[in-house]
Structure 1
Amino acid sequence: MRNLLQSVDDTLPGKFEITVEGIVHDLLSPNGRHELTVARLRKRLEKVMPEEIVAHTGRPDVEMEPEGIMRRPDIMVIAMADMEAQGAFDPRDLIAAIEVVSRSNPDNDWVGKVRDYALIGIPVYAIFDPRTGTGAVLGDIHATPEGPRYATRTDFVYGEDVTVAEWTIPTEGLPRHPAEK
């Protein structure tokens, strides 16, 4: 699946990821509000993090081949030194993954990635949902009979400060999606 996705990734619109259930294709490119949220979160994090840690957006993907999972978080909090390896990032090198919920496929962020990020060992997963102006920070992976899961969840509302890993940032002024009619 990985080779197929690499061959079509730049020729077809949207974003492709591999999950335990198969290929996820988010056909719609992120809109301006989504990208503005990502940019504001990245800048706010980088203001409070040490210089050797970055809030990276873009490529490469995060991949754990033995599990058959390849994802591309909106923001990856990672040490610069861990970015030097060739190929996809090892998910265990990430300090946190951050997603801004897609309007076209919210279950991918709230269900699929919650499952997959715990499974591949990303220690902190933060979700920002511009549809509702809310979010959650998940952490403390633990084993369950169904596989690894996040044990803690801290919910927040836009306007509150939120702690991602060890850094606290404001959520004031993050864009919201207009109400659907």
Structure 2
Amino acid sequence: MKATPQGGTSHRYRALRTFVLSTDDTVPGTFEITKEGLVHDLRAPSGRHELTAALIRRRLEQVMPDVLVAHTGKPDIEDAPHGIMRRPDIMVIAEADMEGEGAFDPRTVLTAIEVVSRSNPDNDWVTKLRDYPLMGIPVYAIFDPRTGTGAVLTDIHSTPQGPRYATRKDFVYGEDVTIAEWTISTQDLPRYQSEQGQAD
């Protein structure tokens, strides 16, 4: 099932969405839309970030049923009523829910996985930590090559600030980690280099 912009979507969100779609593949990095506005991640299309995502995807697909995909890349997931458009590094979704045109409906995404960007770590640790439960994504896993650590967040519940994940399980690279129903190794996942100015 694909998401489509709703008739009640704000003019501001429609304008931001038009801008994001018009710049796709023409400006380096990735644009996403949050409640605050645009986020521009300048991460390079290669390097340790992408290797980490590729390894996680491969390990997940070895243990998941064939009807599920650990998908990377386009399209985005879109929650137009809340004014949010995101592009997870990896999303676990059923093959059947990838059919059709346009952005994915976040209600069909079983898990969102992010590899923390060196250039903008708060995008993964702060704003997506807020946006993904608001979009109804039941599991959010974060891998941080800066520190060799990560966390799996589950159990969406209501708070005065809006929906939030109630349960957080931290892990250290080298341990096995359970994401939703699937356990994978984090052994030998790459770390970012420590030199100043090194981008991945």
Q: Which of 117, 122, 130 matches 1:115?
A: 130
Gaps of 5+ in 2: 1-15
Q: Which amino acid aligns with 1:155?
A: D
Match of 1:40 in 2: 55
Conservation of the 8 A alpha-carbon contact between 2:43 and 2:117: no
Conservation of the 8 A alpha-carbon contact between 2:112 and 2:137: yes
Q: Which amino acid aligns with 1:94?
A: V
Match of 2:41 in 1: 26
Conservation of the 8 A alpha-carbon contact between 1:101 and 1:128: yes
Conservation of the 8 A alpha-carbon contact between 2:134 and 2:162: yes
Residues matched between the structures, number: 181
Q: Which amino acid aligns with 2:141?
A: A
Q: Which amino acid aligns with 2:42?
A: L
CA apart distance, 1:36: 0.5
Q: Which amino acid aligns with 1:105?
A: N
Alignment of 1:83-98 (within 5 A): 83-98=98-113
Task: Using CA pairs under 8 Å that are at least 6 residues apart, name the structure with larger relative contact order, 1 or 2.
Answer: 2
Whole-Å separation in 1 of the counterparts to 2:133 and 2:121 = 18
Whole-Å separation in 1 of the counterparts to 2:174 and 2:81 = 40
CA apart distance, 1:69: 0.2
Match of 1:145 in 2: 160
Match of 2:120 in 1: 105
Whole-Å separation in 2 of the counterparts to 1:180 and 1:108 = 22
Which TM-score applies when normalising by structure 2? 0.88
1:2 is the counterpart of 2:47: no
Gaps of 5+ in 1: none
Q: Which of 147, 156, 179 matches 1:164?
A: 179
Q: Which amino acid aligns with 1:24?
A: V
Match of 1:155 in 2: 170
CA apart distance, 1:10: 1.7
Alignment of 1:51-70 (within 5 A): 51-70=66-85
Whole-Å separation in 1 of the counterparts to 2:100 and 2:126 = 29
Conservation of the 8 A alpha-carbon contact between 1:20 and 1:69: yes
Whole-Å separation in 2 of the counterparts to 1:180 and 1:69 = 35
CA apart distance, 1:26: 1.0
Match of 1:177 in 2: 192
Match of 2:11 in 1: none
Whole-Å separation in 2 of the counterparts to 1:53 and 1:100 = 20
CA apart distance, 1:4: 1.1
Q: Which of 7, 11, 15 matches 2:26?
A: 11
1:71 is the counterpart of 2:80: no
Whole-Å separation in 1 of the counterparts to 2:139 and 2:100 = 22
Conservation of the 8 A alpha-carbon contact between 1:30 and 1:102: no
Identity of aligned residues (%): 73
